[in-house]
Amino acid sequence: MRKKLSILIKKLRNTTLRKILVFVSRLIVGLLCLIPGYESIVDPVGSNILCDRFLHCLKLDVLLPLSYIISISISSLQFVIGVCMTLGAKIKWTSIMATIFLTIQIITSATTIHQCPDIYDGITRTISAHTFGSSIAHNIMLLGLASLVFHWRNYNLALYTKRTEWIISIYGFAFSVVMAIHCYFSLPILDLTVCKEGDSIKKVLDYAESHKIDMDENTRAAMSHNGYSFILVSPDITQASTTYRKQLNKLYSYCKSNNYNFAMLTTADPDSREVDEYIIETSGAEYPFLQISRELTDAFVRSNPELFLMKDGIVEEKFSCYQIPTYDKPLEEYVSEDKDVSEGWNDVAKSILFFGVPLIAILIYDYLIELAKLLYRFWKTKRKKKETEETSEQQ
């Protein structure tokens, strides 16, 4: 056993092996931070809901007004750590930040795992606590790898030179903030809710049933209406945007003219003062109001309010409160096109391309400078050699 251990230690002293271990470790840490970080920035409302739950569970309700800023900052930091780790940029400071970030995540997970076991309900992430069985075990693994990268950082195979690697972190943070703001005012480019475009609204009803969420029969009937219907859903009517109230009122008139169902679902009681105030702010909204659970809206709504166009219980389209549509003829006269299930992934590919092209341009610039330096040194050496030979001949 001792002999095997000494052989292993000798192997670990091998420079090539250390470089391989650092490379593999930073790739694992980088990708397992990059993917959830990206998903968080393209779903800023979902990240904010999750942040609210963590703050409430940790009894930090005083910070709830800042939850949007906190959630975007955390998502951006995780994304930047993932990018820099994957590319090997600023590896010393990146590994330090990764170690601090993962340590805080472990402490937070250990504090909330028993108090709030359902904290991720309705918040879909590709890589989360559910993927690895325990977020603590997952983060401990990543913490160990990040520590290894820091300890052997001198063996890092950097893709970028020190001249440009600082740009990566600044550009990554700027990209993440801009993307989060874009997905907040529109809808997420990658729909991570329980009910996507093209899905049956029955998925929401099934979610309510599986999580034992009570639902009013009128609300259930409005969501299951045959034919074309519009459902306007507000998780918090006191914070609902009324910027496009004229468009909504016009859309309701359009629905009445064409015999389409239109209803607003809100977490407030339809007879409450909050609803009355909303009606006043929207210049006398006449459409019916129905009640829905906040726990349920967290699972499928990403705008306040969000408009759903449905046909026979199938979600045809979703609209942000800043993108209310207008129609000048009956919906039946519009050419019906099947939704491309890869449409969301096409937007993801475009965003990755938008992020990746400048990085490639920086890399090309970086190596062109290095090539120019190499050629200059070669020319200078050759010229010096020639001058030396000429001096020797003159003597």
Whether the Cβ atoms of residue 47 and residue 40 lie closer than 8 Å to each other: yes
Worst-scoring range by mean pLDDT, 71-80, 130-139, 270-279? 130-139
pLDDT of residue 127: 54
202-328: CATH topology is: Glutaredoxin (3.40.30)
> Which tens digits make up the pLDDT trace of 96-119?
999 999 998 888 888 887 788 778
CB atoms within 10 A of CB 288: 14
pLDDT of residue 129: 43
- What is the distance between the alpha carbons of residues 37 and 31, in angstroms, rounded to a whole number? 9
pLDDT band at 86 (very low <50, low <70, confident <90, very high): very high
Worst-scoring range by mean pLDDT, 18-32, 60-74, 90-104, 125-139? 125-139
* Percent of the chain at pLDDT exceeding 70: 89
Worst-scoring range by mean pLDDT, 19-28, 50-59, 126-135, 338-347? 126-135
Contacts of 348 (CB under 8 A, 6+ apart): 42, 189, 190
The whole-chain average pLDDT of the chain stands at 86
pLDDT of residue 394: 65
Q: Which residue has the higher pLDDT, 347 or 164?
A: 164
For the chain, which residues make up each domain, given as ranges? Answer: 2-185, 202-328
Average of per-residue pLDDT across 311-320: 92
Average of per-residue pLDDT across 323-336: 82
pLDDT band at 14 (very low <50, low <70, confident <90, very high): confident
pTM of the model: 0.86
Residue type, 33: C
Three-class DSSP labels, the chain: CHHHHHHHHHHHCCHHHHHHHHHHHHHHHHHHHHHHHHHHHHCHHHHHHHHHHHHHHCCCHHHHHHHHHHHHHHHHHHHHHHHHHHHCCCHHHHHHHHHHHHHHHHHHHHHHCCCCCCCCCCCCCCCCHHHHCCHHHHHHHHHHHHHHHHHCHHHCCCCCCCCCHHHHHHHHHHHHHHHHHHHHHCCCCCCCCCCCCCCECHHHHHHHHHCCCCCCHHHHHHHCCCCEEEEEEECCCCCCCCCCHHHHHHHHHHHHHCCCEEEEEECCCCCCHHHHHHHHHCCCCCCCEEECCHHHHHHHCCCCCEEEEEECCEEEEEECCCCCCCCCCCHHHCCCCCCCCCHHHHHHHHHHHHHHHHHHHHHHHHHHHHHHHHHHHHHHHHHHHHHHHHHHHHC
> Which tens digits make up the pLDDT trace of 230-266?
999 999 998 888 888 888 989 999 999 999 999 999 9
pLDDT band at 314 (very low <50, low <70, confident <90, very high): very high
> Which tens digits make up the pLDDT trace of 179-233?
999 999 889 988 889 898 889 998 999 999 988 888 888 899 889 888 999 999 9
Whether the Cβ atoms of residue 24 and residue 155 lie closer than 8 Å to each other: no
In this predicted structure, the answer to whether residue 343 has a pLDDT above a threshold of 80 is no
In this predicted structure, the answer to whether residue 135 has a pLDDT above a threshold of 90 is no
In this predicted structure, the answer to whether residue 393 has a pLDDT above a threshold of 70 is no
